Structure 1
């Protein structure tokens, strides 16, 4: 994955694509996106213990959001060669398998600002003791439930372009 310093701006010209299975919404964000957790080999990053509840809440967000998903996946460049490089990373959380490295999350921060992080951030925090900047930690701990968790979720504008890729006439129990 390409390294970007914490708190650096995210490309403002890229749209947001928020998915929930075969249904997704695309929109031009009106908020400023700030990068967090875009770690890469050969670049230093802050380490330390995270506050109580942070790791759990971060995994809640990673489990519920699928923003700007890719068809492939990124591996952890910080793990020793061979570990986590052969397949996509996954963790168990509240009875679900949560895949890491193929999408991003968004966490609302100060008014008009949203933090943009790769889903691998959950691995970086848990395995490599990455300690994100305090404003992000605070934002995760106070993130509204359901934020960008699907095309009709809080944070998705009402004028977003919606796409349904289910087969015609299919219902969730048939696809």
Structure 2
């Protein structure tokens, strides 16, 4: 085992130990209290989830998989998704903007995966995945304030923006093959 692998393994174990402690804290809080302990229980579970995500990232060499937008020739068109007044969109890189004639692109929101992929291809793009350096942290929407806002906090995995900007990522697939849920 290389020193990097050993370091990541130790980091993974550390995060799993912290996650287990948070779960124990939540259980102990539940045992010794009534509804007054619910906030500390919620916090313990939330932090346990965060540590599990950090352990998963460490187990994957400090990386995670994220969606990316590709031109039909397989080149990366965007790794930057955002959300605006009309929903989610992609911010295209300079080469994709030049080829597609626009800076922002909404991908298809069709219910069927087959239709969604066909619609995206008509726009000149596919949605695939990349593997990039990542980290886990707590996140809440900007509108989250006060106690009600605290309850909107969640643990999430984020890409390392500097690695994305530097192009320091690996393409996993240039088109995600989705299976429609058949009821």
TM-score by length of 1: 0.23
Ranked by relative contact order (alpha carbons within 8 Å, sequence separation 6 or more), the top structure is 1
